[in-house]
Structure formats: structure tokens, C-alpha cells
Amino acid sequence: MSHELNYFGNKNIIDCYKVGFLCSRKVPAEIILKTYDWAIVQREKGICVVSGFHSKIEKDVFHYLLKGTQPIIMVLARNLMQRWPKEINKAVENGRLLIVSPLANKPVRITKDTTYIRNKFILDNSDELFIPFHSPDGQISKLLKENNKL
């Protein structure tokens, strides 16, 4: 399934080696700290992480990554916003953040379908994946099964 893309930020980041990060919204407590530690290691190694950074744990990982200098790719499950928070604008101005929407000129609201499209984009555009947790009957598991990644 091909989608028109909208970009905001440094388009050259798409050529970096990328680790895709997906995680279910509900995460067991013992996974959370390990995931934060993983994010810090990626930041220190300068590895580009690509994710939706939408759930609580994904937002926390984004927070850890923003403290570094490595490139980051944020993939949205909706169209691009007109205005961004200061820390997002600063990362874009510094050339280290690319925001991508595989749903150009489409929804303003996030749905199960747009989340699936976003996660599929992350899966298709990552050199490797880090999925600390996914619910066995959740959307990430479904995506992984459908794409022979599970």
C-alpha cells in the first residue's frame, strides 16, 4: 500500500540506518525501565530511532532521545500539524529531526486504521526493529504476523 508522504524537517535523515521502535500502550512495569535504558544507549551511540512516539512509553523514549544529538524520525498517524512545540522546532532547526506523515492531506484524528498505516511505514522503513512489548492480540502483533515479522 503506497501513500503520499508529507515531511517536516531534515529529509536526509531518511537515509540513516534506522531502528524502528514500536511498543504497545499497556506495558508491564518491568519493561519500562529496560526500554528507557535502551533509549539512552541509542542516544549515546548516535543511532537514529524511527517511531510514532505516540503512547506514553514512546513519548518518554522521545524525551530521552531529544537530549542527544542523533537523528530522530517521528512518523505520524495523521497529517502534519501547523504548529509544533518548541523542543520539536529546535530539533528540526538543528537538522536532527524528520517528521513524516504517510497520510498526506488526510485525517486530523488518529484512528486504528491510521495507526496501522503509521506502524507499517515504520516497519517498512527500518533497518532493524526494537519492540520491547506487544500485546498478543493487539495491533502490533497483528501487523507483525501479517508481515512475517513474528
**Residue 125, domain CATH:** 3.40.50.450
Q: What is the mean pLDDT of residues 125-146?
A: 91
Q: What is the pLDDT of residue 120?
A: 94
Q: Judge whether 113 lies within some domain.
A: yes
Q: What is the pLDDT of residue 103?
A: 83
Split into its structural domains, the chain has a count of: 1
Measured over all CA atoms, what is the biggest interatomic distance in the chain, rounded to whole angstroms?
40
Under 8 Å between Cβ of 110 and 77: yes
Q: Judge whether 92 lies within some domain.
A: yes
Under 8 Å between Cβ of 50 and 20: yes
Residue 63 to residue 133: CA distance in whole angstroms: 19
Q: Judge whether 1 lies within some domain.
A: no
Under 8 Å between Cβ of 147 and 121: no
Q: Judge whether 11 lies within some domain.
A: yes
Q: Judge whether 73 lies within some domain.
A: yes
Vertex 23: Cα angle to 17 and 26 (nearest 5): 165
Helix 139-146 / helix 112-124 crossing angle, nearest 10 deg: 50
* Percentage above 70 pLDDT, the chain: 94
Under 8 Å between Cβ of 138 and 26: no
Q: What is the pTM of this model?
A: 0.92
C-alpha cell at 120: 507499517
Q: What is the pLDDT of residue 30?
A: 93
Residue 58 to residue 50: CA distance in whole angstroms: 11
Question: Which residues span the domain enclosing 14?
Answer: 6-146
Average of per-residue pLDDT values in the chain: 91
Residue 101 to residue 80: CA distance in whole angstroms: 6
Backbone phi, psi, residue 146, to 5°: -65, -25
Q: Judge whether 123 lies within some domain.
A: yes
Q: Judge whether 46 lies within some domain.
A: yes
Q: Judge whether 29 lies within some domain.
A: yes
pLDDT digits (tens, 9 = 90+) for 34-61: 999 999 999 999 999 999 999 999 999 9
